[in-house]
Structure 1
Amino acid sequence: MGGGVIPYQADIGEGTVIGYQGIGVVIHKRCVIGENCHISQNVTLGGTSGIYEVPVLGDNVTVGAGANIIGPVHVGNNVEIGAGAVVIRDIPDNCIAVGVPAKVIKKSESEQ
């Protein structure tokens, strides 16, 4: 099964789950994904033409179905990215981000 692209060069942390056998998941080979993350189906973690840097996800990140994280983006620890979101800017630790383009809609109590 598949239809996804998950290169062996990608740095994927221990305990990370790529849901639904990776259906539609595309991960750039230089991506870094932290530990204990959950990547849902139809997610793209990719680069931008002409820019070397690619997404870096911290630990305990959940990426909802159909979300896109594109370009030199850093996603902090303990972050939830909503389904269908398009992340083109950094997301700090302990947040929930949704929308197109993605915006932080909630921060943990200690972050506010």
Structure 2
Amino acid sequence: MLSEYCGGGVIPYQAEIGEGTILGYQALGIVIHKRCVIGKNCHISQNVTMGGTSEIYEVPVLGDNVTVGAGANIIGPVHVGNNAVIGAGAVVVSDIPDNAVAVGVPAKVVKIID
């Protein structure tokens, strides 16, 4: 198996991860589906899960410069726009636009960054 297991996280080699992206705390507890796409210069904090749902092929896609807070879950065919911020513990199950701050369960946009 060519997945990388570091700090209890699972980051498959098939996942597309853009340059400059940081996986916080040596990827502690981070789980990324092998078909996920993560843009450039993103910051993924510890204990984040990015994955699919049963019987749906599509998985999360993150734009560039996205920040994902600790313990967030991004699940299903979700697109997170460029420069978005996902709060700690948020559960993202629908698209998040560019320059948005999303928090809560389920995550809702609470602010658009100018």
Fold in common (TM above 0.5):
yes
Q: Which residue of 2 is the match for residue 8 of structure 1? A: 13
Q: Which residue of 2 is the match for residue 61 of structure 1? A: 66
What CA distance in whole angstroms lies between the structure 2 residues aligned with 1:84 and 1:108?
Answer: 20
Which consecutive residues of structure 2, in runs of 5 or more, have no partner in the other structure? 1-5
What CA distance in whole angstroms lies between the structure 2 residues aligned with 1:5 and 1:49?
Answer: 19
Q: TM-score, normalised by structure 1?
A: 0.96
RMSD value over aligned CA atoms? Answer: 0.7
Q: TM-score, normalised by structure 2?
A: 0.94
Percent of aligned positions that are identical:
82
List aligned pairs for 1:25-104, cutoff 5 A.
25-104=30-109
Q: CA deviation at 1:108?
A: 2.5
Residues 80-108 of structure 1: CA distance to partner in whole angstroms, max 9, x if unpaired? 00000000000000010000000000013
| One-letter amino acid of the structure 2 residue matched with residue 24 of structure 1 | G
What CA distance in whole angstroms lies between the structure 1 residues aligned with 2:10 and 2:113?
Answer: 33
Q: For this pair of structures, how many residues does the alignment match?
A: 109
